[in-house]
Structures are given as structure tokens and as C-alpha cells.
Amino acid sequence: MSSKRILFLVEVAIFTALALALDLAPFLSFKIWAQGGSISFAMIPIFIVAFRWGLKGGLLSGFLWGVLQLPLGAYILTPLQGFIDYIVAFTVLGLAGIFANQVKKGVEEGNTKKYLSYITYGVLLASTLRFIAHFTAGVVFFESAIDSIESVWVYSLLYNISYMLPSFILSTVIVFFLFHKQPRTLLNAA
């Protein structure tokens, strides 16, 4: 096994563990709903892996983070809801890696506007897809719990946007700050 492959696996493992630790740390994660959903720093390590290693690293790290949450207090009511809320929702965070090359190029060129834009696009894409997954799982589960189908859609929309929008903003600001302050360190991988 090459040293680059070993570095990839080690970084994915470390950043995935960091995401889980940030999610579980009570002073770094603001749980706003009893059924799940929090404003936290936990997505940031996944985005760093995605921008360092591209799609493969981001998707793997997001998937592993979702799987690790299952035995550690995941809020699962049906298998479909659990699959969407944990496997799908966290795996799609790795799609921020679609913009990895553009972020790297912007950093190498010293073009702050360019890499800020691509970091924002990546975090927005991934956060939007995670939101859609949670929204869908909410509709699937709460459809049987709420009489009016309109109420289910509105409930799931408001519930999930209440923590996903602040998490998107927090992640974008911090990931940009990290890349801006330590660009070479954060992009040294691939």
C-alpha cells in the first residue's frame, strides 16, 4: 500500500472521528430538537476531507460518520427513516468534494474570492442535499403521525431548516477561515 493511500485512510478516519466527537460534545453542539437536529461544528471535518481529497474522501468520511451515529444515540423510528436520516444525509456531505480542484486552484493562485466562492458552493450543495434527505425522512415518518399532508411538509421544512441553515452558515465561515489561515496545510494531501 502506498504512503499516499495510507495517508488518505488515516485522514478519513481521524476527521470522521473528529466529526463524531464534535457532534457528541455537549458544549460544541447545540441540540435544539429532542428527535435530532443540532447546530454544531461537526460537518466541518467532513468538508475539510472533501476539499483535501475530493469526492472519494468526502463521501467515505460522511458515510462513516453516519454509520458511527447509529449505535451512539441515533433517533430511528423506521428503517427507511433511519437510512435516509443517517446513511444518505451524512454521505451526501462528501459531495462538497466536487469543488475540491477549484478550491485548490484558487488557494494556489492566491485568489481569495475564487476559493471562498467554491468553498461556499461546496458547503451549500452538501448542506442542501443533507437538508433534502432530512426533510424527506421527516415527511416519510411524520406522514403517519400528522393528519394533514400539508402540515407534514410544512412541519418537516421548518423543523429541518431551523438547524440546517445555521449549520450551513457556521460551516461556511469556519471552513473558509481555516483555508484562509492555513491554506497549504489544508491542501497538502492530494
Residue-wise pLDDT tens digits, 40-53: 899 999 999 999 99
Average pLDDT for 93-119: 94
Domain ranges of the chain: 3-187
The reported pTM is 0.91
pLDDT band at 140 (very low <50, low <70, confident <90, very high): confident
Contact criterion met (CB below 8 Å) for 174 and 123: no
What pLDDT is recorded for position 145?
58
Report how far residue 138's alpha carbon sits from residue 133's, in angstroms, rounded to the nearest whole number.
9
What pLDDT is recorded for position 135?
93
Q: What is the pLDDT of residues 66-85, one digit of tens each?
A: 999 999 878 888 888 899 99
101: cell is: 480542484
In the block, which residue shows the cell 463524531?
20
What pLDDT is recorded for position 150?
63
**Comparing 8 with 156, which gets the higher pLDDT?**
8
Contact criterion met (CB below 8 Å) for 78 and 141: yes
Contact criterion met (CB below 8 Å) for 114 and 102: yes
Residues 6+ apart with CB under 8 A from 41: 22, 28, 29, 170, 171, 174
Q: What is the CATH number of domain 3-187?
A: 1.10.1760.20
pLDDT for residue 94 is more than 70: yes
Contact criterion met (CB below 8 Å) for 41 and 170: yes
Q: How far is CA 167 from the centre of its chain?
A: 9
Q: Is 39 helix (H, G, I), strand (E, B) or coil?
A: strand
